[in-house]
Amino acid sequence: MLADATRVRILLALKDAGELSVNHLAEVVDRSPASVSQHLAKLRLARIVTTRGDGVRVYYRLANEHVPQLVTDAIFQAEHALGGTPHHHHAAEAGE
């Protein structure tokens, strides 16, 4: 699920905003609403996001408090896979 950059960007946007509609998410991640909707459907099937309806609009939010940590860990792992010293290690070293 988190191997796709658009899905990660969607999850990060939801982490920051709390809850967003498909159209607003599409603006934030710079993708078409149709593309975002397809990604959200997959994230919903994986129970990573949930929905709330308000009239004709549907709002998406993270399913639980564990999702932000999951995304952070996936990003950190991807940084390790790129080789060299990962960015998150530079931040830790600066705090020493």
Each residue's pLDDT tens digit, 42-92: 999 999 999 999 999 999 999 999 998 988 888 888 888 887 777 778 765
| Segment (H or E) for 17 | helix 5-17
The pLDDT score that the predictor gives to residue 36 is 97
Residue 10 — pLDDT band, cuts 50, 70, 90?
A: very high
Which structure tokens are listed for 68?
A: 């932000």
Integer Cα distance of 61 and 25 in angstroms: 11
Number of structural domains found in the chain: 1
pTM score above 0.85? no
Q: What is the CA radius of gyration of the chain?
A: 15
The pLDDT score that the predictor gives to residue 93 is 62
The answer to whether 60 touches 22, Cβ cutoff 8 Å, is yes
The whole domain housing 28 covers 5-94
CA 18 to centroid of chain Cα atoms:
11
CATH number at residue 37: 1.10.10.10
The pLDDT score that the predictor gives to residue 7 is 93
User: Maximum distance among all alpha carbons in the chain?
Assistant: 51
